[in-house]
Structure 1
Amino acid sequence: MNLLIVGATGTLGRQIARRALDEGHQVRCLVRSYKKAAFLREWGAELVGGNICRPETLPGALEGIDVVIDAATARATDSFSIKQIDWDGKVALIQAAVAAKVNRYIFFSILDAEKYPQVPLMEIKRCTELFLKESGLNYTILRPCGFMQNLIGDFAIPVLEGQPVWVTGAASPIAYMDTQDIAKFAIRALSVPETENQTFPIVGSKAWSADEIVKLCERLSGKDAKVTRVSWVILRAARNFARFFEWTWNIADRMDFAEVIATGKPLNASMTEVYQTFGIAPEETTTLETYLQDYFGRILKKLKELDYEKAKTQSKKISPKKLTF
């Protein structure tokens, strides 16, 4: 199939592109920067310049496309706001896909989006789901709730480097999933008719609390974590302060997501029927223990190699053969 992947340079989008190429699909990626997307071309993808916030760039990108896989979302540092990207941009992309007579549209939303109308990103995702369903496109909506990859910067690296691990009190456990596995579901949907015009949760096998993740990192790294706990009062104050400045609105909107986690309710869902529908075995997906074990194993091995090389270099410097008296 001819696929257009939007958001292909992101944490999830790049895994979708890699998976699609590995399975023999023709992949085109809509990119804002050819330089940042150079690795996608090296993998074998076609790059086309464009931006969902500039609708005039979309028709050309959609020529000859069978399926749109939409993994784009606003980043905290984007010059465009969450509303501009995740609502205005998505509306423009869906409308352009309709005009181009695209056969399929796969959209990534967020688990339980309909339960939090007070959280901007969640409400925008819910409205986008409705707009897509009413567009007439043949759609599949996938709803993850957290990526394992994000835990490396939040937990693993701080533990290894002896830096503070920031934890909020009574945070909701989250069923994180490896983005490679999420990509597997997205590409599998293309060949499973039962996934058409349906919405599915795509989550990990267990919801993990922040404290559980810290303990797991400590066990796998052999180091004690320096945990710094932050109250929701401080987070709310920081969010309100960020709203004073236009260039920090995205940060404030992202911080609103803390309201979801503050409920203490697990972000999780049953995957039994999802696995059956997609024809994927649960044991094929990566658990958080396995993911972090692999990460720490590779990092600790590398650190030992570096220590060995350093020791060997120092040993040469003080070799008795080079000493004179």
Structure 2
Amino acid sequence: MDQSSPNKVLIAGATGYLGKYAVKAFKQRGFWVRTLTRDKNRLFEPGPFTAPALKAEDIDDIFVGKVTEPDTLVGLMDGIDTVYSSIGISRQRDGLSFEQVDYQANRNLIDLCLAANVKRFVYVSMQGAENIMQLEITQVHERVVEDLKNSGMEYRIVRPCGYFSDMGALYDMAKRGRALLVGAGENRMSPIHGQDLAEVCVDTLAGSALEVEAGGPDILTQREAAMLAFEVVGKPVKITVIPMWLARGLVKFVGLLSNQFGDLADFIVTAGEIDGVGPPLGKTTLRSYFEMLHAEDQQKETK
């Protein structure tokens, strides 16, 4: 698609697990793609848990800037008619808060869209937000949703039930020989692969539903997912349960050391208490994902 096409999308969060898949999904659907990144080299490096390294042909334009610093974003929206954002704190260690990243960075994008008359905005939030509104991460995500609803732009909200990248942490623990679960591990979930979720985002943009929940094909408890990881790596099941009272104490301790990691720990512990199940829009099974991770490990060992 040439640069004069009306289907020009900005991908914000392009170096993240989901963002990398989103770049490929939008490009494969015929969009002209601009990525926003702080470090363009990271676009072309593989991410964790099978997130792909992008190629030059996946991207039409690279804009280097910091979404938390509007002064670095002059010209970002030039020619753009659709913005996709999956920006949020995941594994960053830069000391920024949920307020600064998950809310204000997305608010900066909304303001730039309004100034440039961008038509559409696709935002990735979370499924089941109404059940965990006491958490700061949920509050800031839903403030972005409300801002989009009040913006006058055409918007779409995608609500995944969890990511396979999070399940990758279970695989890593099984590989080391012991998995730690917060609580009994009986909460049910249907996480979705990043590639499948990226396809859902593009489909949602083209559809009429303003908000779409998205899960994978499997519904498992945390304990069942851990047992599956042990089965794939070929090690005996060893699961240690961290009682909720102890987990809550650890959250408070971590919060004293770092607000950012305290907030993340609070989210992880709370997620261990509630179900997260949605429509099975993904096709990739958790077993096949674990098998993919295991195959990658075996290839590394033979080199």
Range of TM-score over shorter length: 0.7 to 0.9
Alignment RMSD (CA, Å): 2.2
Give, in whole Å, the separation in 2 of the partners of 1:270 and 1:24.
Answer: 26
**1:106 counterpart residue number:** 122
**1:237 counterpart residue number:** 249
Q: Deviations over 1:12-71 (max 9, x none)?
A: 000001222223321111111233234546344221112221122334111100110001
**1:58 counterpart residue number:** 73
**1:185 counterpart residue number:** 200
Over 3 Å counting, the alpha-carbon distance change for 1:27 and 1:252 in structure 2 is same
Give, in whole Å, the separation in 2 of the partners of 1:103 and 1:148.
Answer: 31
Name the SS for the 2:75 alignment partner: helix
**2:223 counterpart residue number:** 211
Q: Which amino acid aligns with 1:255?
A: A
Aligned residues between the structures: 286
Percent identical: 25
Give, in whole Å, the separation in 2 of the partners of 1:43 and 1:165.
Answer: 40
TM-superposed deviation, 1:74: 1.5
Contact 2:204 2:212 in 1 (8 A): no
Give, in whole Å, the separation in 2 of the partners of 1:148 and 1:41.
Answer: 22
Contact 1:75 1:250 in 2 (8 A): no
Name the SS for the 1:28 alignment partner: strand
**1:252 counterpart residue number:** 262
Q: Deviations over 1:170-227 (max 9, x none)?
A: 34222110010000111223433x14xx111011233322210122122223211332
Q: Which amino acid aligns with 2:71?
A: E
Give, in whole Å, the separation in 2 of the partners of 1:78 and 1:203.
Answer: 30
Q: Where in structure 2 are the equivalents of 1:50-89 lying within 5 Å?
A: 50-76=65-91, 77-89=93-105
1:32 aligns with 2:38: yes
Q: Where in structure 2 are the equivalents of 1:1-325 lying within 5 Å?
A: 1-39=7-45, 40=54, 42-45=56-59, 46-76=61-91, 77-152=93-168, 154-162=169-177, 164-171=178-185, 172-192=187-207, 194-195=208-209, 198-245=210-257, 248-263=258-273, 265-271=274-280, 285-297=283-295, 299-300=297-298, 302=299, 306=302
Q: Which amino acid aligns with 2:21?
A: Q
Over 3 Å counting, the alpha-carbon distance change for 1:117 and 1:22 in structure 2 is same
Contact 1:34 1:47 in 2 (8 A): yes
Q: Deviations over 1:76-135 (max 9, x none)?
A: 423321110111221121111111111110000011112222111011111211111011
Contact 2:247 2:269 in 1 (8 A): no
**1:320 counterpart residue number:** none
Name the SS for the 2:34 alignment partner: strand
Give, in whole Å, the separation in 2 of the partners of 1:191 and 1:116.
Answer: 29
Give, in whole Å, the separation in 1 of the partners of 2:219 and 2:262.
Answer: 26
Instruction: Compute the TM-score of the two structures, normalised by the length of structure 1.
Output: 0.81
Name the SS for the 1:140 alignment partner: strand
Give, in whole Å, the separation in 2 of the partners of 1:224 and 1:298.
Answer: 21
Give, in whole Å, the separation in 1 of the partners of 2:255 and 2:275.
Answer: 28
Contact 2:23 2:58 in 1 (8 A): no
Instruction: Compute the TM-score of the two structures, normalised by the length of structure 2.
Output: 0.86
- Does 180-189 or 76-85 show the bigger shift? 76-85
The answer for unaligned runs of 5 or more in structure 1 is 272-281, 310-325
**2:3 counterpart residue number:** none
Contact 2:256 2:262 in 1 (8 A): no
Give, in whole Å, the separation in 1 of the partners of 2:99 and 2:34.
Answer: 25
